Structure 1
Amino acid sequence: MRTAVRNARLFVKVVDCYKAPIKDRIDTLQMLMAQGRFHVMKNCTNVTASLSEQVWDSKIEDEDVRLDDGTCDIDTADALEYSFSKFIKVLLASGGDEDE
């Protein structure tokens, strides 16, 4: 990414993202969905398709590991989750009942 930005002579700073643990990312996204705080635009069919096909790896019994064998689009789900990973604590703190 940095090379592409530099070669295109764009004045954009590229920084690494924080990658929260996978279970934390999935749990946060589920919470946002349940609370009506997550929306996908109708034309983002790749996002809805990717989210609808995510499954746990049945070969790993003692922990939750998302299946990553090429049968589903895990990259789109990862990218979506990385976009909010840095803000998980804030998202969790600001959720819940409005009366609190």
Structure 2
Amino acid sequence: MTTEPHPRLADVFPDLATEIITLLREQDENDPLADTVEDLLFYGVCTCKPTCTNLLTALRGSSGCWVVQLEHDGEDVIWLSLDPTATAITDIEVLDGRDLGPASRRQSASA
């Protein structure tokens, strides 16, 4: 058990956070979710199954049934899962296969 706070997503993945904000604003310049991205915490990579690469921004199991699909040139590039109230981003799935670096990879020592 660790007492260290979780880092902010924007500190671990600054380009991704900026992209999410930009894409949300392109869909709706007043989207309240865009205002929350800078303060999202990064809880690590989801461990629900070996192939899952979702980036958790809330405790595992916090998601509801809401998903925001973010597109670039007509293609889904990022899915944001939301909590049951649809007001908080609980995890991020990057769909375009880009390499987000070592922080996005499951570590064998963590469980």
Same topology, TM > 0.5: no
Q: What TM-score, normalized by structure 2, do the two folds share?
A: 0.27
Larger RCO (CA under 8 A, 6+ residues apart) = 1
Bigger Rg, which one = 1
Higher normalized strand content (fraction of residues): 2
Higher normalized helix content (fraction of residues): 1
